Structure formats: structure tokens, C-alpha cells
Structure 1
Amino acid sequence: MVKTKFYSIVICFFLFTHVMVKGQQSIPVLRFGVIADIQYADKDDHGSRFYRKSLEKMENCIANLNQEKLAFNVVFGDLVDQGPKDLPPVIELLNTLKANYQNVLGNHDYVNVNDREQIYQQFNMPSPYYAFEKANWMFIVLNTNEVSEYGSNIDSPFRKEWEELANSLKKDGRKNMLPWNGGISSIQLTWLENKLKKAQENKQNVLVFSHHPLFPETGYEALNNREILNVLDKYNHVKGIISGHHHTGNFAYYHKIPSITLEGMVETASENAYGVIELYHNKIVLIGQGRMTSRTLDF
């Protein structure tokens, strides 16, 4: 009789544990909206880019994201095509999001900007690169424009870093040595590693956000993507990289780290591109709308 009761308790315990684990796997820890390359401008269409249409697409996107239960939203750079002069209507629409939004700087956001190191203030950002935390996750926002010709002031130490990096990339014949690509400084790289160490100590999972992709290497990647990836690869709690910039979208694994490039909103006359990311204990799910590709990535 005692033995029977013991086995019953053991079975109940395992059933309870099984149900709890299944429950954790089926309910997302948190959900957030993603938008890339709005690239609004009050100018005529060019090729597959329909600049004025982006405001209409944003209205539709925001109406749908506001129907979702989201912790926040992220815009992955290139909010505008020709710099901050076209920014006010974009910010006005973003301010109608029910969940707050986090911006990432893109190369087009720097057009016709005099003080490049202060541009982040116009984009409602706390700093050019930053991190924030939600539900035992750390989200790291990089500024992959910092080391570039277009993104650094002429007398800045970042310009010198860019010149040295550009010479090295040209010597190596890298395809990404292009005027619209940038990288991060040695200062930002050290900051990134310190954030990763902190997340590891606190047992937090990490997602990294950037405008320029870090992987795969297609010519659109950040100038010093390999240095950044070498740092990320040292930390098992880095669960993914999400970027914009390459409007057609892309995906690849860098070792065990999934790297998603989101499709750009500015492309096509009528088809939108945005999505919702769900974070679970064991996977990342991207639910894409319009041109944005849906993906399920198991840890």
C-alpha cells in the first residue's frame, strides 16, 4: 500500500513537471514588433523603392501592431532616405504605437547631418548605441555607422579608425568596403563585451540588434563584422542577431548564432514588410507580415 502511494506520488510529480515544461515551451516569454528600412522621403519612386508609400505602409503596420500584445517595438534603421529633414512624419506615426519603440541608426539617417555624433537625439534614442532589459533578456543595440566616412565627424578618432579599417579591407579584397557600410569602434566593441559579461553573470539571454547585418557576408555586412562575431561567439547566451539594411532579407547561422536580416518596408508599391517576434524558453519565432519571412529558430 505504501509502495503504491509512493509510485503514485512519483507519477504525479513527473506529470506535473511535464505539463509545466510544455507550458513554458508553448507560452512566449515576451513579444515585440519589428520594422526595417522605412526609408521615407518626399521624393519620386526609384526602381523598386517607393519612398512616399512608406507612410501609408506605416499606418497599416502600426494599426496591426497595436492589435497585438507587445512589450516594445524595434525599428532597425533607415527611418528616412535623405536624413532628418523628412523625419517628423515618421516620428509622429511611431508615437502612435501603443508599445514603446526603440530605434537603431541606419546609414540613410546620416544624410546631410552636420554633427554626426549627436544625431541619435533627433531619433529619440538614449545614445548612439545602448542596451535595455526585459523578462530576463538583454537587448543590445549597436551603432554600425560609427566607423564610416558618412557617420563620423572629419576630426573624430572614429574617422581615423575608419581610414585604417578601409585600407585593411581593400587590401584583403573584401566586398563590403562600400560607401553605405560602416562598423563599430574599438570603444563600442569593448562596451559590447562588457554588456555580454554582465548578461552572462546575470544569466540573461541576449539578442543583438544592428542596422548592418553581421552575417552572412554578401557585401552588405558591417565593415568589421568578423571582429564583432568573434566577440559574440564567445558567449553561449547570445541567442540571435537581428538586422536590416539589405532590403531583400536574408538568414544564416554563424556557428550556433542565428542571424536574421529583415526585409525592408520601402520596397514595392503596395506590399508591406513588418513582423512580430516571440521569445520562448527554447526558441525564437518570427511571424512575418507581407514580404517579411516567418521563421522558427530552435535554441
Structure 2
Amino acid sequence: TLDKDNPRMDDCRQQTPLFTFGVIADIQYADMDDGYNYSRTRRRYYRSSLQLLRNARKSWSESAVKPAFILQLGDVIDGFNKPRDASERALDTVLREFSSCPAEVHHVWGNHEFYNFSRSALLRSKLNSAAHADRSPNAAPGGSDIYAYRFSPFPGFTFVVLDAYDVSLLGREKSCEQYINAMNLIKLYNKNEDLNSFGSPTRRFTMFNGGFSKDQLDWLDSVLSSADEKQERVTIVSHVPVHPDCTDNVCLAWNFDELLAVIRSHSSVVCYMAGHAHDGGYCRDEDTGVHHLTVDGVIETPPDSNAFATVSVYRDRMVLKGCGSIRDRHNYKHKRSLESKLGCLLFTVLC
């Protein structure tokens, strides 16, 4: 038997969504031959990743229902561009593709952005999409260089972009206070000379990960408090996953537990989306029912496949339709009972 909390996919397809949005992660484009990951265990398709982005753009442009926006979840170009003096050229190439998308693009910053550019340069670049933030007093953290903001594509729905490298060794001058504090933190857990080698047992404390400052967490807490009062449904996006069950722990944010504590103290959050871990992943938080989705990376997807998704948002659910390597996600329910929240999050692959 079926009830209102367990709709059939046929029913989902027949209804018109309130809005849709596209999702893509870890393109890591570089005009160079295929290579391998840091440990040389996974093949990376640097040049053909651009074609996979084109495939995604074409699909979104030809869709009967045009997406309201696109989420680019970080690592848009690869770090190998930097020693080749090709960072600006590679970024321009990728951004030309995004400029042809049928909707505005919200860019998340990942570790490869910081391999190529300083934080100050990124703030001045076209990868700073904070201009799309809501025009409200708390739309972004005030008086800082934290790259975080909120926006609302439809009444009752809020999206929050977070800066997973606010606390990091990447993108900052070695003499600044933030860099020194981050170095002191990582060395508490990672005793390796090469800080990109895994620390043990806390393997997440590597240079390619980062964390969230108290200022950013306090700002998020205030945003979610406002969303709670308005009974809004909030989706948080960032580059680095924050739930141990949705990724290998080597890809977790340094202080994932602190961010989870903020999420768990509010009723408004329904989903957290990230990239970074190229295999993707999914879990539902047992305590809150919040869905944590790690999106598969383009960079390790073979040229004859795809890695992008389109999410349709309804009053009571979100339906993810993926192409290529994006994995099946079926009938995962949200445990919270508030009717105005997304009661059921359905992840399905139809391509």
C-alpha cells in the first residue's frame, strides 16, 4: 500500500515542480593528457572534463523546464594548471561554458580553486557569485573575507553556500593569523612532513581539507534560526562533506562535528550537498533525518559517460535525476514531521 508519505515515482513525474536546479561537481579541467590522483590509484580525465560540462549545459538548456540556477560544487579547474601558468586560461575556458547555461551559476570554492588562486584573488574573480545573494542584512557574514551567503530561489526555500576553507592552509599568506592558527591545528593531528599525507587516526586533517570558523558557524546559526521561525526549507551546499556516513573520512571537513551540531540544533535544514569525494555518497542523519549527498566528480568520470544532475523541488520532496555516474537514490524519507518541510527526498537516476 502507498500513502501520502511514500509517493510513487509515477505520481512524482506527473506533478509540476516549484523549481528545478542543476548540480555538478569537481570538473577539474586542465588542457593536458589524462593522469592520476594523488595516490596514483584513480584515472583523471583532465581535458575531456570540459566536454562533460558541455553535455550538462546542453541538457539543462534543452530541458522543457529550465533550471532556476546551477550549483557548481567546487574544484572547477585542476591544480596542475598553476605550475603550467595556465590558471587564468583554464578558468576562462570553463567560465565560457558556464556563461552559456540557461540560469545563474552559484560557484562553491574547493581546494583546487586555492591551488590556483589566493583568497583575495578569488574574491575579485568571477567565481565569486555572492552577487546572487539575497538582499537582506544577514545574507552574508559581515566584515570578513568568508565566502558564504544565502539565497532564496522560491518563497519558503533557502539555499546557503558555505566556505569549507575558511579555516585552512590554502589561499592565505603564511604570515597571516588565519594561516598560523590553521597550521597549529593541523599539526595537532597530522605528524607527517607532507601535510597532504593522511594523519592517523584523524585522517581528515590534511592540507586538501579545511574547516569552518566560529564566525561562519555563528552566522549560519543565525540564518537557520531565521529559517526556523519562517518554517523555511534549507539546503546547505559546500565543497567538503560533513557527515562521516556519506564519504570516506579522509574527505571530511576538519570540524565537521561542529557544523553538524549547528545543523542538528535547527528544524529547517533538509539537505547538505557537497563534492570533493569523487565517488559520491549518501546518508540520512539518524537523529534529524537531514539528507547528506556527496555528488560524484566529473574529473574521474570516463569521457563516454556523464556526471551531473537536475533536482526538481516540490512542496514535500526533492527528486534528483542524475546522468551517468550519479548513483540511484530511492525513497529516502525525512524523519521530521513539520508539514512545511520536505517530507521525502527521492534520489533517482533516469539517464
Q: Distance in 1 between matches of 2:218 and 2:185?
A: 17
Q: Mark the runs of 5 or more structure 2 residues left unpaired by the alignment.
A: 1-10, 37-42, 131-145, 192-199, 335-351
> Higher mean Cα deviation, 171-180 or 198-207?
171-180
* CA displacement, residues 245-278 of structure 1 (integer Å, 9 cap, x when unaligned): 0001011122311100000011123211000012
Aligned length: 276
* Secondary structure at the counterpart of residue 106 of structure 2: strand
Amino acid at match of 1:260: L
* Secondary structure at the counterpart of residue 295 of structure 1: coil
Contact 1:49/1:269 (CA < 8 Å) preserved in 2? no
Per the alignment, residue 138 of structure 2 pairs with none
* CA displacement, residues 200-225 of structure 1 (integer Å, 9 cap, x when unaligned): 12221100001011112521011111
Per the alignment, residue 105 of structure 2 pairs with 101
Per the alignment, residue 131 of structure 1 pairs with 150
Amino acid at match of 1:266: I
Q: What TM-score results when the alignment is normalised by the length of structure 2?
A: 0.74
Percent identity of paired positions between Structure 1 and Structure 2: 30
Per the alignment, residue 81 of structure 1 pairs with 78
Per the alignment, residue 3 of structure 1 pairs with none
* Secondary structure at the counterpart of residue 223 of structure 1: coil
Q: Distance in 2 between matches of 1:158 and 1:286?
A: 38
Q: Distance in 2 between matches of 1:295 and 1:283?
A: 13
Per the alignment, residue 114 of structure 2 pairs with 110
Per the alignment, residue 66 of structure 1 pairs with 61
Q: Does 1:190 align with 2:214?
A: no
Taking a change above 3 Å as real, the CA distance of residues 293 and 43 of structure 1, as seen in their structure-2 partners, is same
Q: Does 1:205 align with 2:194?
A: no
Amino acid at match of 1:193: D
Contact 1:207/1:238 (CA < 8 Å) preserved in 2? yes
Contact 1:285/1:294 (CA < 8 Å) preserved in 2? no
For the aligned residue pairs, the C-alpha RMSD in angstroms reads 2.1
Taking a change above 3 Å as real, the CA distance of residues 160 and 188 of structure 1, as seen in their structure-2 partners, is farther
Contact 2:49/2:303 (CA < 8 Å) preserved in 1? no
Q: Distance in 1 between matches of 2:265 and 2:15?
A: 29
Contact 1:40/1:55 (CA < 8 Å) preserved in 2? yes
Q: Does 1:246 align with 2:249?
A: no
Q: What TM-score results when the alignment is normalised by the length of structure 1?
A: 0.86
* CA displacement, residues 5-35 of structure 1 (integer Å, 9 cap, x when unaligned): xxxxxxxxxxxxxxxxx89x94422210000
Per the alignment, residue 35 of structure 1 pairs with 24
Q: Kindly name which structure, 1 or 2, has the bigger radius of gyration based on alpha carbons.
A: 1
Q: Distance in 2 between matches of 1:116 and 1:143?
A: 11
Amino acid at match of 1:286: L
Per the alignment, residue 14 of structure 1 pairs with none
Q: Distance in 1 between matches of 2:179 and 2:77?
A: 23
Q: Distance in 2 between matches of 1:156 and 1:187?
A: 17
Q: Distance in 2 between matches of 1:232 and 1:164?
A: 27
Deviation at 1:230, TM superposition (A): 0.5
Q: Distance in 1 between matches of 2:123 and 2:31?
A: 22
Q: Mark the runs of 5 or more structure 1 residues left unpaired by the alignment.
A: 1-21
Deviation at 1:104, TM superposition (A): 0.2
Q: Distance in 1 between matches of 2:19 and 2:205?
A: 37
Q: Distance in 2 between matches of 1:66 and 1:269?
A: 20
* Secondary structure at the counterpart of residue 152 of structure 1: coil
Contact 1:105/1:120 (CA < 8 Å) preserved in 2? no
Query: Could you say which structure has the higher helix fraction?
Result: 1
Which of 282, 286, 292 lines up with 1:259 in the alignment?
292
Contact 1:285/1:295 (CA < 8 Å) preserved in 2? no
